[in-house]
Structure 1
Amino acid sequence: MPMVSNANYDSMSRRKIELSRHANKRAQQRAIPQECVPLILAYGERSHDGQGGIRYLLTEKAMASLGRAIGHSQRLDTLAGCYAVVSAEDKETVITLGHRYN
């Protein structure tokens, strides 16, 4: 992915984001590139998952914003509907990754 000049992305890239063993495994199983996790966290719509985590979901609106920032591509389109759940306690540990299907 190209470098992004976005305040959300820049602040996320400075944070130390760690993937749990579970998140690493899910990233591989679900073909979500680990280098795309900062984009999901920077552009995804944030909501509480009801189980102590914060979910960042790449909705259509979030994808449009991301597309304007870095341009549209087939690789970017594969991230549509991806989500990351981050621990609400430390906000630096990604608990799991996945795809939301409609």
Structure 2
Amino acid sequence: MSYANIQHAKIRAQQRGIPPFIDQLLDLYGNEQYDGHGGVVLFLDRSSIRHMERDMGREPVRRLSTWHNAYKVKSSIDGHTITTGLRSERIRRK
């Protein structure tokens, strides 16, 4: 993975208003789904949000509800972040 791709992910996260803390939460609690193009999509689903509530408490997780629809695409080869964003549609599962 080149340095340019890593910078791309940082720039996109900043442009889309996704704080670094949400990026870390996706790494810790996010559900993984392969996208079929060599990437892995990490997103928060109901079970991962419940897991966060058990670890952090209900109120802090409720305050983060703005970013519950955040996602992150990582390379399945080396694990570097490709991009991050906010979902406007469902993640299609196979």
TM-score (norm 1): 0.71
Contact 1:46 1:54 in 2 (8 A): yes
Q: How many residues align?
A: 83
Deviation, 1:101, is 2.2
1:99 aligned residue (73, 86, 92): 86
TM-score (norm 2): 0.76
Unmatched runs of 5 consecutive residues or more in structure 2: 90-94
Q: Which residue of 2 aligns with 1:10?
A: none
Larger radius of gyration, structure 1 or 2?
2
Identity of aligned residues (%): 36
2:34 aligned residue (39, 48, 70): 48
Q: Choose between structure 1 and 2: higher helix proportion.
A: 2
Contact 1:60 1:80 in 2 (8 A): no
The RMSD of aligned alpha carbons is 1.7
Deviation, 1:63, is 1.4
Moved over 6 A (4+): none
Deviation, 1:36, is 2.5
Partners of 2:21 and 2:52 in 1: CA distance: 15
